């Protein structure tokens, strides 16, 4: 069930050094998918506080095989770890070989869709969107969507550098210098859905498909128009979150 493909794990590195323990952990996880201790060990070796290593990439085919065969429940451990590895922006001690695994990651998109359908609530649904972003190699979206689960997003002004918080659930949505409610900055004008393109459009379609209207509103607020509370520089399309300015990628 766990493809090994002749990998020399002992020569590869994980967060603690030689990755020789990883294949055994992957086999145990595949045999006993609810073993929390094994998953915790895999997380700390392969996606240590969000940092990934050579062994993290090498584990992708095995984690993908587990993700495809896992029950479509709200919490699929292999799917979360897979998306965490693919969505990491902190690659250490190895070349970034993510592109080599695009097909394996894409093969898990139906599992992510099943996870979204089984999501217990809006927050869980955002984590499902975050998984999709990871599987698609949309690394900035992967991180931003974990914030969206809490109805807020954190960024910084590219002009003056001030830290800002976007309050997506208030009415109206607002930008704020304070991370505590109520928000004290300018209004965040929701983006028009027809103007959204690229991966952001796919996220909106996914929210609509699963009748997650509150998440649709959060995404349109995230992609909306406002200005920096300090220097008044205008921004839109999540540009203060690193989402790529006006093309909403
Ligand atoms: Zn500014």
Is the pLDDT at 36 greater than 60? The verdict is: yes
**Which helix (H) or strand (E) is 199 found in, with range?**
helix 198-209
The string of pLDDT tens digits covering residues 122-153 is 999 999 999 999 999 999 999 999 999 999 99
- Above 70 in pLDDT, residue 247? no
User: C-alpha angle 136/220/147, rounded to 5°?
Assistant: 60
Ligand 1 centroid – CA 78 distance (Å): 40
Residue 80 contacts residue 131 (beta carbons within 8 Å)? yes
How far is ligand 1, taken at its centre, from the CA of residue 232, in Å? 6
Q: List 155's β-bridge partners, or say none.
A: 164
Q: For 7-30, write each residue's pLDDT tens digit.
A: 999 999 999 999 999 999 999 999
Average pLDDT, the chain: 92
Whether pLDDT at 248 is above 70: no
On the CB side of 176, how many CA atoms lie within 13 Å of its CA?
Answer: 18
The whole-angstrom separation of Cα 54 and Cα 96 is: 8
Whether the pLDDT of residue 102 is over 70: the answer is yes
- Rounded Cα distance between 220 and 196, Å, is 9
CA angle at 76 for the pair 73 and 36, rounded to the nearest 5° = 120
pLDDT band at 249 (very low <50, low <70, confident <90, very high): very low
Query: Is residue 1 over pLDDT 90?
Result: no
The reported pLDDT for the residue numbered 216 is 97
Q: What are phi and psi of 164, to 5 degrees?
A: -130, 155
Please tell me the distance between residue 160's alpha carbon and the centre of ligand 1 in angstroms.
4
Cα(203) to centroid of ligand 1, in Å?
28
List the chain domain ranges: 9-115, 152-242
pLDDT beyond 90 at 3 = no
pLDDT for res 74: 66
| Euclidean distance between CA atoms 119 and 33, whole angstroms | 19
Q: Which residues contact 180 (CB under 8 A, 6 or more apart)?
A: none
Question: For the segment 148-173, what is each residue's pLDDT rounded down to a tens digit?
Answer: 999 999 999 989 999 999 999 999 99
CA–centroid distance, 133 to ligand 1, in Å, is 28
Task: Give the separation between CA 1 and CA 119, rounded to whole angstroms.
Answer: 27
CA of 193 to the centre of ligand 1 (A): 26
Task: Give 144 Cα–ligand 1 centroid separation in angstroms.
Answer: 20
Give 148 Cα–ligand 1 centroid separation in angstroms: 22
- The DSSP letter of residue 181 is S
């Amino acid at each position: 069930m766990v493809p090994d493909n002749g990998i020399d794990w002992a020569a590869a590195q994980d967060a603690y050094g030689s990755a020789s323990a990883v294949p055994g952990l992957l086999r145990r996880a595949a045999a006993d998918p609810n073993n929390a201790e094994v998953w915790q060990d895999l997380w700390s070796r392969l996606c240590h506080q969000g940092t990934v290593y050579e062994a993290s990439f090498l584990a992708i085919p095995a984690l993908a095989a587990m993700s495809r065969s896992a029950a479509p429940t709200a919490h699929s451990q292999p799917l979360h770890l897979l998306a965490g590895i693919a969505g990491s922006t902190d690659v250490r001690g190895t070349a970034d070989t993510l592109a080599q695994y695009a097909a394996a990651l894409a093969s898990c998109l139906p599992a992510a869709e099943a996870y979204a359908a089984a999501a217990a609530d809006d927050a869980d649904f955002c984590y499902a969107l975050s998984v999709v972003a990871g599987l698609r190699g949309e690394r900035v979206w992967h991180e931003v969507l974990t914030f969206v689960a809490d109805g807020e997003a954190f960024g910084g002004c590219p002009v003056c550098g001030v830290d800002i918080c976007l309050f997506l659930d208030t009415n109206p949505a607002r930008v704020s210098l304070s991370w505590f409610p109520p928000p004290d900055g300018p209004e965040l004008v929701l983006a028009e859905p027809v103007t959204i393109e690229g991966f952001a459009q796919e996220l909106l379609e996914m929210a609509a498909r699963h009748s997650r209207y509150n998440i649709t509103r959060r995404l349109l607020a995230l992609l909306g128009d406002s200005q920096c509370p300090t220097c008044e520089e205008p921004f839109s399309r999540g540009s203060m979150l690193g989402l790529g300015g006006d093309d909403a990628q």
